[in-house]
Amino acid sequence: MAEATGTNEDRPALKRVLGPKLLLLFIIGDILGTGIYALVGQVAEEVGGAAWLPFLIAFAVAMVTAFSYLELVTKYPAAAGAALYTHKAFGIHFLTFMVTFVVMCSGITSASTASQAFASNLDEGFGLQLGDGGILLIALGFMALVALVNFRGVGDSLKVNVVLTLVELSGLLLVILVGVYAIAGGDADWSRVVAFDTPEDKGVFLAVTSATSLAFFAMVGFEDSVNMAEETHDPRRTFPKIMLTGLTITGIVYVLVAIVSVALVPVGPLAASDTPLVEVVRAGAPGAPADTVLPFISMFAVANTALINMLMASRLLYGMARQAVLPKPLGRVHPGRRTPWVSIVFTTLVSFALISYVSLDSESDVVSALGGTTSLLLLAVFTVVNVAVLVLRRDRVAADHFRAPPGLPVVGAVTSLYLVLPFSGRDTIQYELAGLLIVLGLVLYGITVLLNRRLGVQQKTIDPATLED
């Protein structure tokens, strides 16, 4: 492996431009997106009208893990996230690689979920009625378009992020306002909101945990904000209040959307729809133009999710290749665009394979399978992060930092691990997809180790601080 060109101290510091308001919008915008727009119907299918409960539990699990992230980001305010915490806690090169690769894979599965939601909303918005084959082609075409945008290079723009966040939030507020209007007119059926209607092969507890593992996909994103630590003013003081506020706001919005959805639309039609929130708006305000606007707002929201995640995935893959833990060609940069074009192509092809694989499985819902796989991968990472907090409490730092309440990291580790394991009620397809991705990582890692030995290149420990440079 090529020697590092300098120490961390030699690298220029990132510009601190994020104050509390912009950080709050960044966190809310990162959490909002595909999950709630696409999965409320699938969650309702698992538990019936009490679809709000899995979202509430998912919010609680996310909040517990957020406390662990807050302790670590205020203790080590660097832009590296889970890879850094794993590296500092355990110092095991292979474990750091696997955590990094799993985070990268979660970005691909999340973007793939968004592509399916984008295709369904486009079909609904234009009234095309293309069918499953047409939806698949649009989803693949959308991912190709994301790859082109990624290849051209996308500069970070806080103003753009603010606009995207407001658009995403406006769609969910529209659903809530339409719901309030319909409820005021007496059009809601409140009996459905407290009714459990679970599949025959599952009891209430298993159905709730299965739905929670799926609903958790809607809560992911808050963990990405720790990568902004080096660009935040006074992160040790700012992060705790702002991250918890952002999570609370999104949790409240999600629960309200879930309640409104099942109060206005029976579970059957809600679960059968690829655009469930459009059905909610249509039921709450029949004849109003809101149901024609929402598909396009949804498209905008999920497109933003896909682009952010594919940017992250391609840069992490590039970083691992540059550090000689993945094949060197994945680290190539286009001389003109200065973007990691091989990694972009590779991650896009993986997304094509995932979308096609699930689409060809007639028994699987594409959004549910891919979204559930995303939450599966990230919950595995959250288990490691919660354990890392406990290990790193032996590492004393001079600066004051946030400290999670006693016992909370243990609760976070146990609940995250439970939602990863098969007896939580997850669909088999999610383990198939996650297993295939992990095998892919192991094969690439093994090939790289063999090539490094053959070429006499020394294997070095991943430096999390330079993964996304």
pLDDT, one tens digit per residue, over 4-39 is: 334 444 445 445 667 788 888 878 877 887 788 888
CA separation for the pair 139, 370 (Å, rounded) = 13
Higher pLDDT, 221 or 107: 107
pTM of the model: 0.88
Place of tokens 């309702």: 44
Higher pLDDT, 391 or 367: 391
387 part of a folded domain: yes
pLDDT at 80: 59
Average the pLDDT over each of 56-60, 138-142, 148-152 and give the range with the smallest value. 148-152
373 part of a folded domain: yes
**Residue 238 is part of a domain; what is its CATH number?**
1.20.1740.10
Given a cut of 80, is residue 373 above it in pLDDT?
yes
Higher pLDDT, 455 or 394: 394
Burial profile 364-383: b = 16 or more Cβ within 10 angstroms, e = fewer: bbbbbbbbbbbbbbbbbbbb
Total structural domains within the chain: 1
Higher pLDDT, 14 or 110: 110
pLDDT band (50, 70, 90) for residue 377: very high
134 part of a folded domain: yes
pLDDT at 228: 66
Given a cut of 70, is residue 467 above it in pLDDT?
no
Given a cut of 60, is residue 92 above it in pLDDT?
yes
140 part of a folded domain: yes
Given a cut of 80, is residue 230 above it in pLDDT?
no
pLDDT at 191: 87
Higher pLDDT, 447 or 9: 447
Name residue 157's amino acid.
Answer: S
Condensed to tens digits (0 to 9), the pLDDT of residues 383-410 reads 999 999 999 999 888 778 889 998 999 9
- As a whole number, mean pLDDT of residues 147-168 equals 71
pLDDT at 465: 62
364 part of a folded domain: yes
Higher pLDDT, 44 or 10: 44
Higher pLDDT, 378 or 363: 378
- As a whole number, mean pLDDT of residues 438-444 equals 94
Let me know: does 346 contact 106? Beta carbons within 8 Å: no
pLDDT at 11: 44
pLDDT band (50, 70, 90) for residue 1: very low
Structure tokens at 32: 């909002």
- Output the average pLDDT for the chain: 86
Please give the distance of CA 283 from its chain centroid, rounded to a whole number.
Answer: 29
pLDDT at 16: 66
Q: Tally the C-alpha atoms within 13 A of residue 105's C-alpha that lie toward its C-beta.
A: 30
Count the helices and strands in the chain (H runs, E runs): 16, 0
Q: Which domain holds residue 85?
A: 33-466
pLDDT at 55: 95
199 part of a folded domain: yes
Closest CA to 314 of 298, 280, 337, 291: 337
pLDDT at 458: 63
- As a whole number, mean pLDDT of residues 32-54 equals 88
Closest CA to 104 of 415, 391, 423, 462: 462
pLDDT at 159: 60
pLDDT band (50, 70, 90) for residue 443: very high
Structure tokens at 455: 């070429």
pLDDT band (50, 70, 90) for residue 66: very high
7 part of a folded domain: no
Phi-psi region of 127 (alpha: psi -120 to 50; beta: other; left: phi over 0): left
Three-class SS of residue 18? Answer: strand
Structure tokens at 9: 């101290």
Q: Apex CA 301: angle with CA 299 and CA 306, to 5°?
A: 90
Q: Tally the C-alpha atoms within 13 A of residue 193's C-alpha that lie toward its C-beta.
A: 14
141 part of a folded domain: yes
